[in-house]
Structure 1
Amino acid sequence: MKIIGSLTSPYVRKVRIVFSEKKVDVDLELENVWAADTKIAISNPLGKVPCLILEDGEAIYDSRVIAEYADALSPVSKLIPADSRERASVKTWEALVDGIMDAGILARLERTWRPAELQSSAWVDRQMGKIQNSLRQMSEVLGENAWCHGNQITLADIATGCALGWLLLRFPDVKWQVQYPNLDRLYQKLLQRPSFAETEPPAA
């Protein structure tokens, strides 16, 4: 199997960490989806990463689908609970955290792709508001708990760590570490895991 992706995408990092935690080997094929000569559409018509290519050539996307597929490949370190209510809680947390990254990417594209005179500050503010609201919700739900859900690492923690790391990379002006020290405690704990250390994105 191989993952088509980039080193800075938080979605790619999420699935790479899941495979690492599951002790399942998978190759990484680097692809810049923004380059004119990108070939990602051959595997994913949406032109997005990550995309998982199975042994028989079938392609699986997006990150939520890949993470769920990977979790079923090995009994090691179950990351998505079997119980339907707990499963929904973990997947809802993942959706919230993915929403942070979705909003961040939209804000970043507005700032970096559109000419300055055409940029909409209202649009950027709306996306940044989504990020702040989500961070506040995450902090309130986490409270003083050691993990996002239950008493061990789950997909919720992995997704959270990837989003927080990406915010540090792309939006250092969002001072979430100061605002929400409980999120920072979780983040620092996740950084001690080999799966996170080995997938830390290069500096911008």
Structure 2
Amino acid sequence: MKIIGSLTSPYVRKVRIVFLEKKLEAALELENVWDAKTKIGSLNPLGKVPCLILDDGEAIYDSRVIVEYVDTLSPVGKLIPTESRERATVKTWEALADGIMDAGILARLEATWRPAEQQSQAWIERQMGKVDAALSQMSQELGENAWCHGNQMTLADIAVGCALAWLLLRFPKLEWQTKYANLDGLYQKLMLRSSFIETIPPAA
């Protein structure tokens, strides 16, 4: 199998971490979707990464679909519960984490891609408001628990860890670590795992 993606995409990182935690191998083929010469459209018509290419050539996307598929490939380190209610809870955590990145990316694009005179501060504030609300919800739901759900690491923790790491990379002045000490505790614990260490994005 082959993962098409970039080193800085938090969605790609989530997929790579799941592969590592499941003890499965997949080559990483780097692709810059913002490059005019990108060929990602021939694999994913939405033009997004990650995209997983299976051994038979079939393409699977997006990250939520990929990680759910990969979790079925090996019984090692089950990351998504099979029981429906627990499964929904873990996937809701993932949706919340992905939502942080979705909103953050929209805010960042507005501030970096559009000329200053065309930028909408109201739009940026709206997106960052979503980030703040999601962080607050995460902190409330985590409470004093060791993990987001249950007594061991799940996909919920991986997704949250990727979102928090991306915020540190792209919004270093947000200071969520000071405001939400329990989230920082979870983040620091995750960053000790080899899967997170091996996928640290370049500081760019």
Percent identical across equivalent pairs? 77
Match of 2:37 in 1: 37
RMSD between aligned residues: 0.4
Match of 2:139 in 1: 139
- The 5-angstrom pairing of residues 74-113 of structure 1 reads 74-113=74-113
Match of 1:118 in 2: 118
TM, length-normalised to structure 1: 1.00
Match of 1:192 in 2: 192
CA distance in 2, matches of 1:118, 1:12: 31
Number of equivalent positions = 204
Q: What are the ranges of 5 or more consecutive residues in structure 2 without an aligned counterpart?
A: none
Q: Secondary structure at the match of 1:52?
A: strand
Moved over 6 A (4+): none
CA distance in 2, matches of 1:72, 1:48: 23
CA distance in 2, matches of 1:187, 1:8: 18
CA distance in 2, matches of 1:95, 1:88: 10
Match of 2:3 in 1: 3
User: Partner amino acid for 2:180?
Assistant: Y
CA shift for structure 1 position 173: 1.3
CA distance in 2, matches of 1:8, 1:89: 27
CA shift for structure 1 position 12: 0.1
- The 5-angstrom pairing of residues 157-168 of structure 1 reads 157-168=157-168
CA distance in 1, matches of 2:15, 2:161: 12
CA distance in 2, matches of 1:93, 1:174: 21
2:186 is equivalent to residue 179 of structure 1: no
CA distance in 1, matches of 2:165, 2:92: 20
Q: Secondary structure at the match of 1:110?
A: helix
CA shift for structure 1 position 165: 0.3
Q: What are the ranges of 5 or more consecutive residues in structure 1 without an aligned counterpart?
A: none
Deviations 1:9-67 (A, max 9, x none): 00000000000000000100000000010000010000000000000000000000000
TM, length-normalised to structure 2: 1.00
